[in-house]
Amino acid sequence: MTGQAAHPPRTLRVGLIGAGLMGQTHAEAWKRVPGALVANLALDGHAKALGERYGLKGYDTLQDLLAAVDVVDLCTPTPTHRELTLAAAEAGCHVICEKPAALSVADAIEMQRSCEANGVRLFVAHVLRFFPQYRAVKARFERGDFGAPRVLRLSRVSTPPTVGSWLLDEEKSGGVPMDLMVHDLDYARWIAGDVERVYAVQTQQAGKVMVQATLSHSGGAISLVEAGWAAPEGVFRTALDVAGTLGTAEWNSDAPAPLRRHGPALLPGQLGATLPALDGDPYGDQLSHAYAALRGGTPFLVSADDAVAAVALGQAVQQSVETGGAVTPQRWK
């Protein structure tokens, strides 16, 4: 253990593990923090090519990489997250980990506790919290513009993964609930609070899968969440429609107009308001936020508890689909 985490240097050195779609996405996003991403685990030709493209020093072993960096960014298949996180924590490295943290609450808790025991921090990349439309809705609930959350409708539908992808193996990916719906499960809890009960159904036909879930929040709100690998080739759609006691907001990725706000006037004589154009780089914003929080010792927008809770909700959706009944998400505190 090098002790980097206890006394962070002025520039934290980041090592990337993973060279698939998310590895490439994160490598590009790290450009927002010049000089931070310095190395990657280069176990095959694809990873070596990625490292060369971004000017990274490639390491042939995990141990050598961990000895050379202060932070590891895990962009690997979900079943590898636990083992890699434990190794990084024991080496004194902070961990940035792609969502979901793990496939089980037990593994997610072990990751959290290992980081705590070794004096390092764990950030799980629930990037939806950094998308400008979703962030804007959260901010307006916090300001009281919409009152208390009451009904949330969240949708996320994409082309099915390519044949042979590890994502299609539900034992490795957790299927639609863990890999795709988990974005909106985390967001629903972020807006409306803890969930007491989950009921879900799944429809599957000709390689297409859709899952619909109803979340009953402890504060009285209801979230209706749908997600699926069911869109035509090359199509990805996402949408939100939320209602509070004082107003509503809606947005979908197909709409040309920006997020719109309806409800009581924000200004005298105003019946509604179109929010300004919402541009942004959510992946860059996410990694910049995590990096700044690690350097400054400030809180993450996504806590380790949030990450465990998202896994618990994904598990509850899976269990409800399997049993055909309502499920209480697993508690761990």
Same domain, 144 and 112: no
Residue at 58 is within a domain: yes
Q: Tens digit of pLDDT for each residue in 200-226?
A: 999 999 889 999 999 999 999 999 999
Q: What is the average pLDDT across 320-328?
A: 97
Q: Say yes or no to pLDDT of 258 above 60.
A: no
Number of CB atoms found within 10 A of residue 170's CB: 15
Give how far Cα 173 sits from Cα of 66, 229, 297, Å.
26, 13, 32
Report d(CA 125, CA 183) in Å as an integer.
10
Half-sphere exposure of 19 (CA within 13 A, CB side): 18
Q: Tell me, what's the pLDDT at 267?
A: 39
Residue 1 — pLDDT band, cuts 50, 70, 90? very low
- pLDDT for residue 269: 37
**Number of Cβ atoms within 10 Å of the Cβ of 4:** 18
Mean pLDDT (whole number) for 222-251: 94
Query: Residue 62 belongs to what domain range?
Result: 14-125
> Residue 207 sits in a domain of what CATH number?
3.30.360.10
Confidence (pLDDT) at 268: 40
Of the candidate ranges 67-71, 102-106, 275-279, the one whose mean pLDDT is the lowest: 275-279
State how many domains the chain has: 2
The number of helix segments (H) and strand segments (E) in the chain equals 11, 14
Count how many Cα atoms sit within 13 Å of the Cα of residue 64 in the half-sphere of its side chain: 10
Tell me the HSE value of 62 on the side-chain side, using a 13 A CA sphere: 16
The alpha-helical segments, DSSP class H, found in 144-281 are: 170-173, 175-176, 182-192
Confirm if 64 and 71 have CB atoms less than 8 A apart. Answer: no
Local confidence band at 9 (pLDDT 50, 70, 90 cut-offs): low
Mean pLDDT is lowest, of 33-37, 65-69, 152-156, 264-268, for 264-268
Q: Is 216 contained in some domain?
A: yes
Asked if the model's pLDDT at residue 327 lies above 80, the reply is yes
DSSP 286-331: HHHHHHHHHHHTPPPSS-HHHHHHHHHHHHHHHHHHHHSS-BPPPP
Residue 182 — left, alpha, or beta (φ > 0 → left; ψ -120 to 50 → alpha)?
alpha
**Shared-domain flag, residues 39 and 185:** no
Mean pLDDT score, 290-303: 97
Q: What is the mean pLDDT of residues 39-45?
A: 94
User: What is the pLDDT averaged over residues 236-240?
Assistant: 94
Tell me what the pLDDT averaged over the chain comes to: 91
- Is 135 in the same domain as 44? no
Average pLDDT rounded to a whole number, residues 44-65: 96
Percent residues over pLDDT 90 in the chain: 83
Contact 184, 211 (CB under 8 A): no
- Of 105, 125, 145, which marks where a domain is finished? 125
Q: Does residue 292 fall inside a structural domain?
A: no
Q: How confident is the model at residue 265 (pLDDT cuts 50, 70, 90)?
A: very low
Q: Same domain for 109 and 225?
A: no
| Average pLDDT over every residue of 27-49 | 95
Residue 155 has pLDDT above 80, yes or no: yes
Q: What is the pLDDT of residue 277?
A: 45
- pLDDT at residue 276, as a whole number: 38
pTM, whole model, 2 decimals? 0.90
Q: Are 166 and 76 in contact (CB under 8 A)?
A: no
**Distance, CA of 312 to CA of 331 (rounded, Å):** 8
Categorize the per-residue pLDDT at 8 as very low, low, confident or very high, splitting at 50, 70 and 90.
Answer: low
Residue 141 has pLDDT above 90, yes or no: yes
Burial class (CB in 10 A: 0-12, 13-18, 19+), 61: exposed
Q: What is the pLDDT of residues 156-173, one digit of tens each?
A: 999 998 888 999 999 999
Of 125, 150, 175, which residue is a domain's last? 125
pLDDT band at 263 (very low <50, low <70, confident <90, very high): low
Is residue 299 one of the residues assigned to a domain?
A: no
* CB distance 248 to 224 below 8 Å: no
Min mean pLDDT across 5-19, 86-100, 201-215, 315-329 is at 5-19
Taking the mean position of all CA atoms in its chain, how far away is CA 250? 21
Final residue belonging to a domain, choices 125, 158, 192: 125
Overall average pLDDT of the 131-145 stretch = 95
Q: Does residue 147 share a domain with residue 113? A: no
